[in-house]
Amino acid sequence: MLCQRCKKNTATVHLTDIVKNEKRERHLCEKCAAEEGVTVKQQVPINELLANFVMEQSGARELAKLTCPECGTSFLEFRNSGLLGCPSDYDAFAKALVPLLERAHEGASQHKGKSPTRGGADREKQRQMTALQRQLAEAVEKEDYELAADLRDRIKALEP
Amino acid sequence: MSKIDELARKTGEWLRGGGPLSEVVISTRIRLARNLAGFPFLSRCTEQQRNDVQKLLKEQIERLDLGQELFYVDIDQADELDRLVLMERQLISRQHAEGEGSRGVGISVSETIALMVNEEDHLRIQVLRSGLGLPETWDEIDRIDDMLGASLEYAYHQRYGYLTACPTNVGTGIRVSVMLHLPALKFTGQLDQVFQAARDMRLAVRGLYGEGTEAVGDFYQLSNQTTLGKSEGQIISEFEQILPKVIDYEKQARQALLRDKLTSLDDKIWRAYGMLQYARSVSSEETLFLLSHLRMGVNLGRIDQLSLKTVNELMLSTQPGHLQKLRGERLAGEQRDAIRAEYIRQRLHGPSEN
């Protein structure tokens, strides 16, 4: 749908207004909407941010090959969905993520603020847990219940 | 009667209408995103893992000592109407209502606390209050987060903070949203000032029901976009800088309308009142639009036949989910508009109104 005002751009802002009993629907592009003072620029959707970012990167091909060793999510999958697969992705994709985080968070990539009461989860333990959970899911799928039981015990032992 | 049936008969915390500066600030809400260490994020969870996450979180949620009763709703087993009612009350997100797979929400009876399980992240904690109250809302959510954090292992990274499925929430995982009623700024065409100020502070402006919804009835939500690199306190203090200005703009605009445009202001208010009193068919958007004018009229003392409580109650009870719940039946769109009009007429002409 085209913007009703400039008739050039795609309408992304949809408004319902009622003037003198008449319901009026207006469809504007972001620029015209901003000019009429009805909206602000929305947060850039993560997918768009990602697409632009990857295109700009010279090493885009290298980045596309990144895959998380824990959960198997590839950077491309993340790029398409905007969602990461597991906590380890943050390290696996660090090279690509840091510039992205900086763009989304006013230049920051270092957390400030509270941390978990328990002093932060031990990352190595976190990794082990994720790996074991994954193996367990596979074992259950293959109906290898002996292995599953063993894995379940190991997970239990790691649990707080 | 189920818990949700009971809820549907009340006004709900965010529309209670009380609280500081409630003539402009409808509600203050803070949400924290958390994930459990040792599980993949939800998009990578198997069905079994998803169930395990919910089981684990539900157990901890039910064990919380919040000083008030809490009940848990399995959203995937709840019927469509119940999910809609919870969404209209801002206790779950649209995504949660319409999603798939095992998921749920723990709700405190006062509706100030809602804990969503398996939405985009494993856990989303929400605290909601009527009117403006950022420090109190933060203190409460901080306390709940600490209580849960004492028995759960959250996914946390020394550098990136609390890890979330979407990197736009990473770090503090905090989303502060303040819902404002800005009819006078809309009327006088000065909303762009507010939006400009919000943009400068990197705050997003959204409609009543959050992400992707249009602004209906002059209700706007301001929320932070940056979650990494600023502490929760910093993010809250940025709101505390901008909000008094916005509230002040709106109040000045209201005074200017009273001073210079009294006739057209009154016309707007009374026209809305007349429409609601006599209409035979009205959509929920038009209702919100008209109630927005009534709300302004009540707040400015231009209409005394009506209380703010009634306006707030109508804002919620005329939403599609609530209307159908109160009628105890499902209604098709057109029929719904007629029933809505009838319900409003009764409410505005009925004996409870003075």
Residue A157 near chain B (CB below 8 Å): no
Distance linking the first and last C-alpha atoms of chain B:
31
SS3 category, B21: coil
Structure-block tokens of residue A157: 């032992």
Q: What are phi and psi of A28, to 5 degrees?
A: -125, 160
In a domain, B38, yes or no: yes
Q: Which residue blocks in B155-283 are alpha helix, DSSP H? A: 183-187, 191-200, 232-260, 262-278
How far does the CA of residue A22 sit from the closest CA of chain B (Å)?
A: 10
Owning domain of residue B271:
262-348
A 83-102: CB under 8 A from B: 83-87, 90-91, 97, 100-101
Q: How confident is the model at residue B9 (pLDDT cuts 50, 70, 90)?
A: confident
Domain enclosing residue A153, as ranges: 120-158
Q: Hey, are the CB atoms on A112 and B158 less than 8 Å from each other? A: no
What local confidence, expressed as pLDDT, does residue A131 receive? 77
Question: In Å, how far from its chain's centre is CA B37?
Answer: 29
In a domain, A113, yes or no: no
**Which residue in the set B39, B153, B171 is minimally distant from A111, CB to CB?**
B171
- The answer to whether B268 and A20 have CB atoms below 8 angstroms apart is no
C-alpha–C-alpha distance, residues B200 and B69, integer Å = 41
DSSP assignment of B274-299, as one string? Answer: HHHHH-S---HHHHHHHHHHHHHHHH
CA distances from B308 to B143, B220, B255 (A): 32, 19, 19
In a domain, A87, yes or no: yes
Closest chain A C-alpha to B202 CA, distance in angstroms: 9
User: Nearest residue of B to residue A22 by CA position?
Assistant: B286
- pLDDT tens digits, one per residue of B38-64: 999 999 999 999 999 999 999 999 999
From A124-133, B117-126, B220-229, the region with the lowest mean pLDDT: A124-133
At A14 the three-state DSSP class reads strand
Does A19 share its domain with A50? no
Here the tokens at position A23 are 């319901």
Total domains present in chain A:
3
- Asked whether residue A115 is assigned to any structural domain, the reply reads no
Cα–Cα distance measured from residue B204 to residue A42, given in angstroms and rounded to the nearest whole number: 6
* Contact call for residues A96 and A79 (beta carbons, < 8 A): no
Pairwise CB contact (< 8 Å): A107 & B229? yes
The answer to whether A45 contacts chain B (CB < 8 Å) is no
- Confidence at residue A7, expressed as pLDDT on a 0 to 100 scale: 82
If asked whether residues B85 and B202 sit together in one domain, one would say: yes
Which letter does DSSP use for residue A26 in this model? Answer: E
Confidence bin at A119 (pLDDT 50/70/90): very low
Phi, psi of B203 (to 5 degrees): -105, 145
Q: Distance (Å, rounded) from C-alpha B226 to C-alpha B205?
A: 14
Q: Is the pLDDT of residue B224 over 60?
A: yes
The reply to whether B104 falls in a domain is: yes
SS3 B108: strand
Do A51 and A97 fall within a single domain? yes
Predicted confidence (pLDDT) per residue in B274-304, tens digit: 999 999 999 988 999 999 999 999 999 999 8
Domain count, chain B: 2
Shared-domain flag, residues B170 and B241: yes
- Which range in A3-7, A14-18, B149-153, B195-199 is most confidently predicted, on average pLDDT? B149-153
For residues B210, B213, B217, B218, the Cα torsion angle rounded to the nearest 10 degrees is: 60
Is B353 within the bounds of a domain? no
